[in-house]
Chains A and B, each alone.
Chain A
Amino acid sequence: MATQAYEAGRPEGSARRRLSAALWRRPWLRAVALLLPPLGWMAVFYLAALAVLFASAFWSIDSFTGKLTHTWTWDNFHTIFSDPTYRQIAFRTIWMAAAVTVTDAIVAFPFAYYMARIAGPRQRTLLFVLVLLPLWSSYLARIYAWRLILNHDGALNWTLGKLGLPAQGWAFTNTAMWIVFSYIWLPFMILPVYAALERIPDSYLEASRDLGARNWTTFRRVIVPLALPGIVAGSIFTFSLTLGDYITPSLVGNVDFIGNVIYRNVLGLTNNLPFAAAYATIPLAVMGLYLIVAKRLGAFEAL
């Protein structure tokens, strides 16, 4: 390190040194230089993309030529709100997102509680990795695994048969979608709930006991309220990911979700980008509202 610094002092390094000194004297210049590339990227490829998306929601498709017409119209939104099919699909998707969120919260809470408050340090690390790996492992593989499990001649019916129970026929139903969604997004709920529970100081629980609360009262009035931001943080993921998914419904379900309609209108036979853009504002608006509520419940600090 010392040699490097010494070499840099020689004349050929002086231009770089002057630049370095100039940057050192002007912190704002360094901040701007660091921020310009990432913010530029996000502005061009993300914010501009969202802007084009919004604008195109008000365009239309010429029914003869199939070309985009760039005149301002509310027709797409009118169709969405007047056609019962699209309303039904939107409600179905939102309802599923809510069901999956509640299921994951119920499944995740006792697990996260065990991880944060009962497991020892080694066991906790192990459980952490056991949750983390499925979270990052292939999304398609996990959906496909359930398709094989739920199939008529799959592992679930085989197990049920061995146990002498009647076979299930959940393949390609809403039940299948509910199971698969709850499965793939479960780690997203466990991690923030765990983080919230882990942060509760033991002294709070002792104080609660000293003040005469029984275990159940402490749980209900101290632990659950303090874990709530974590649950809400997890629910942002489970809710948003379910709203925006069209792969799961197309692989294990038999009905359309918001995403399927969008997909078909952008890449499928229908080819009506403006309508897809207009329909995409529904999950966007729902998530916007959800994020506002979540922020009020303190979920952003728990992320």
Chain B
Amino acid sequence: METRAARISLSVWTVAVVLFLWLPLVLICVYAFNSSNIQSWPIAGFTTKWFSSAWHDQEARDALVLSLKAAVLATSVALLLGTAAATAVARFRFFGRDAITFLLVLPIALPGVVTGIALNSFFGNNPVHHFNPGLMTIVIGHATFCIVIVYNNVVARLRRTQTSLTEASMDLGADGWQTFRFVTLPVVSTALVAEALLAFALSFDEVIVTTFTTSAENTLPIWILGNLRLKQQLPQMNVMVFFVIVMTVIPVAIAARLTRDTGILRRR
């Protein structure tokens, strides 16, 4: 129904938006190869020397290791809890299912500082147990907002598969565990892998909640933030930023491929 002029202006707009979204990302990757330690444009020259210098930076390494640990642990917790909640909501009818969805969405629907400060004050000020800030508190924070990612997409996948499959499995003599292992799991496995990758990417990159749950130890984004604020070690930081982009883009690209039919890449 669009006129020719409308179609052309819409395509121009679309190209402009794609450039707007991608040019900054491309540019920041180019800076990782900047031979000067002054960050101006155009870059002074092309070098890969900062890669080895960043690799041998002990602080950056420690931050990377902590980030990986936190992301793997938070993803595991989110997978278990998110799948359990999704199975219950998709397979059973009970009062309050909407409330469960709402509760799980809350940590990402509310402003990040609210979640951060709530966890911070809870860890230090609840009457039952004092949590020392560290890996465990970071994982608790990350897992809390990653559950919804797993939950949403597993619910979507389960709604598309029929319950008759599990009933058939039980009729043929399989017990609950076997049905889960040989029927349900294969059906949801790609969704699970995809959600694990997304949760990993989300956790690996998180800053706002992490600043409120960590102690002196830095995750990689916190290390980057610190250097950005103090304007120090900029070349090494550029390399780590490049690395973080790669570490978040690759899992998401894989996840997008795995869930082409459902979940995050819905089609007509």
Determine if B126 and A218 form an interchain contact, defined as CB atoms under 8 angstroms apart. Answer: no
Q: Is the CB of B25 within 8 A of A137?
A: yes
B65 beta carbon closer than 8 Å to chain A: no
Which stretch of A77-85, A164-172, A224-232, A238-246 is in the interface?
Answer: A238-246
Distance, CA A118 to CA B37, complexed state (A) = 45
Do B88 and A35 have beta carbons less than 8 Å apart?
A: yes
Distance between A237 CB and nearest chain B CB, rounded to angstroms: 8
Cβ A215 vs Cβ B3 within 8 A: yes
| Chain A residue at minimal CB-CB distance from B179 | A20
Residues A5 and B228 in contact in the complex (CB < 8 Å), given A42-B104, A241-B111? no
For window 208-232 of A, CB contacts with B under 8 Å fall at 209, 215, 218
Q: Are B212 and A267 in contact, with the CB atoms below 8 A? A: yes
Across the two chains, which residue of chain B brings its CB closest to A240? Answer: B111
Q: Is the CB of B17 within 8 A of A107?
A: yes
Cross-chain pair count, CB within 8 angstroms: 299
B35 close to chain A: CB less than 8 A = no
Cα distance A240–B113 when bound, in Å? Answer: 10
The verdict on A284 contacting B110 (CB below 8 Å), with A34-B84, A107-B17 known, is: yes
Check if B135 is an interface residue, CB within 8 A of chain A.
Answer: no
Taking CB atoms, residues of chain A closer than 8 Å to B113 are 244-246, 258-259, 262-263, 280, 283
Per-residue 0/1 for A239-258: is the Cβ within 8 Å of any B Cβ (1 yes, 0 no)?
01101111100110000001
Residue of chain A at shortest CB distance from B202: A136
| A27 and B92 form a contact (CB under 8 A) | yes
Partner of A266, one of B9, B120, B241: B120
**Contact yes or no, B10 A280, CB < 8 A:** no
Q: Within the assembled complex, what's the spacing in Å between the Cα atoms of A151 and B125?
A: 42
Which residues of A are found within 8 Å of B126, using beta-carbon distances?
48, 52
CB contacts (< 8 Å) of A19 on chain B: these are 176
For B264, the closest partner residue in chain A by CB is A132
When distances are taken between beta carbons in the complex, the residues of chain B under 8 Å from A246 are 113, 208
Interface size on A (CB < 8 Å)? 109
Please tell me if the beta carbons of B252 and A138 are within 8 angstroms of each other in the complex: no
- Say whether A234 faces chain B, with CB atoms less than 8 Å apart: no
Alpha-carbon separation in the docked complex, A277 to B124 (Å): 14
- A9 at interface by CB-CB < 8 Å: yes
Interchain CB contact (< 8 A) of B21 among A50, A186, A277: A186
Q: Looking at the assembled complex, report how far the CB atom of B178 sits from the nearest CB atom of chain A, in whole angstroms.
A: 6
Contact with A along B182-194 (1 / 0, CB 8 A): 1000000000000
A56: shortest Cβ distance to chain B, in Å? 5
Chain B residues lying within 8 Å of A24, measured Cβ to Cβ, are 170, 176
CB distance from B206 to the nearest CB of A (A): 8
B214 nearest CB neighbor, chain A only = A267
- A residues within 8 Å of B by Cβ? 1-2, 4-6, 8-9, 13, 16-17, 19-21, 23-24, 27-28, 30-31, 34-35, 37-39, 41-42, 45-50, 52-53, 56, 68, 107-108, 110-111, 113-115, 117-119, 121, 124-125, 127-134, 136-142, 144-149, 151, 153-155, 158, 183, 186-187, 190, 195, 198, 205, 209, 215, 218, 236, 240-241, 243-247, 250-251, 258-259, 262-263, 266-267, 273, 276-277, 280, 283-284, 287, 291
Extra A-B contacts (16), CB below 8 Å, given A145-B28, A158-B41: A5-B174, A23-B176, A30-B88, A45-B140, A53-B122, A118-B2, A118-B7, A118-B10, A138-B205, A138-B221, A142-B24, A144-B228, A148-B28, A155-B27, A247-B208, A267-B120
